[in-house]
């Protein structure tokens, strides 16, 4: 995923990396405080991204399937609230989230609009992905318990649903990234099914 990061964003991210190295060198610093600080920094870095796009390969491991479903396509993001996901398969629908609206574009060109607030599960589901891309810590915390691990160059953010309605379907979403780039999204469903989406930047 290419990041259109503004110069001052870069400076901040670099400063954060330096700071993180320093902090990691400190042996007995309160772990939770350090993680909290890192989460804020990762989120801040993400929030500086104005737009991003990339190709993805998604593998769905479902218990009723003998082999994983492999889906390929492209995702794009524009700050603060636009996400589009489309599949290479011409018969597949495309999904666009803009503000509070989810638009499903059917293969025959028709569109179906849904308010993402129609159902709390839908809102939480959308925010897990969009909220992370936007670095919107406040929104993420409303729907998920967050746990960050790793370093700023290789972080893992685990989102565990807070809403029982959502927890019925979803156990956790694990985002992996480096700096201000998310490159792996793993979705763990309550049924035991899971899917892994790897996002590549066009150039890299």
Q: How far is it, in rounded angstroms, from Cα 71 to Cα 58?
A: 5
Could you say which of 46, 121, 174, 199 contacts other proteins (CB under 8 A)? 121
Binding mask 46-75 for other proteins (x = CB under 8 A): --------------x-xxxxxx-x-x----
Could you say which of 42, 43, 81, 123 contacts other proteins (CB under 8 A)? 123
Paired strand residues for 114: 102
**Look-up of token digits 């989460």:** 39
Q: How far is it, in rounded angstroms, from Cα 3 to Cα 49?
A: 6
Query: Which one, 178 or 189, has the nearer CB to other proteins?
Result: 189
Minimum CB–partner distance for residue 169 and other proteins (Å)? 6
Q: Is 109 left (phi over 0), alpha (psi -120 to 50) or beta?
A: left
Q: Which two tokens stand for residue 190?
A: 């309550």
Count of C-beta atoms within a 10 Å radius of residue 137: 18
* Contact call for residue 113 and other proteins (CB under 8 A): no
The footprint of other proteins (CB under 8 A) covers 60, 62-67, 69, 71, 85, 87, 91-93, 95, 102, 104, 115, 117-123, 125, 165, 169, 189, 191
């Amino acid at each position: 995923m290419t990041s259109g990061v503004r110069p001052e964003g870069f400076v901040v991210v670099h400063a954060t990396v330096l700071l993180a190295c320093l902090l990691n060198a400190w042996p007995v610093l309160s772990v939770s405080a350090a993680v909290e600080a890192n989460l804020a920094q990762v989120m801040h870095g993400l929030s500086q991204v104005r737009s991003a796009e990339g190709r993805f390969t998604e593998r769905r491991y479902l218990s009723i399937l003998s082999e994983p479903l492999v889906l390929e396509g492209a995702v794009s993001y524009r700050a603060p609230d636009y996400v589009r996901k489309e599949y290479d398969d011409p018969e597949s629908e495309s999904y666009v989230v803009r503000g509070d609206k989810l638009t499903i574009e059917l293969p025959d060109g028709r569109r179906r609009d849904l308010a993402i607030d129609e159902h709390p599960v839908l809102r939480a589901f959308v925010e897990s992905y969009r909220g992370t891309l936007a670095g919107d810590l406040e929104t993420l915390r409303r729907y998920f318990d967050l746990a960050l691990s790793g370093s700023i160059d290789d972080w893992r953010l685990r989102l565990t649903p807070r809403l029982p309605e959502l927890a019925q379907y979803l156990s956790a979403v694990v985002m992996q990234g480096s700096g201000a780039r998310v490159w792996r999204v793993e979705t763990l469903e309550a049924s035991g099914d899971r899917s892994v989406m790897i996002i590549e930047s066009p150039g890299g």
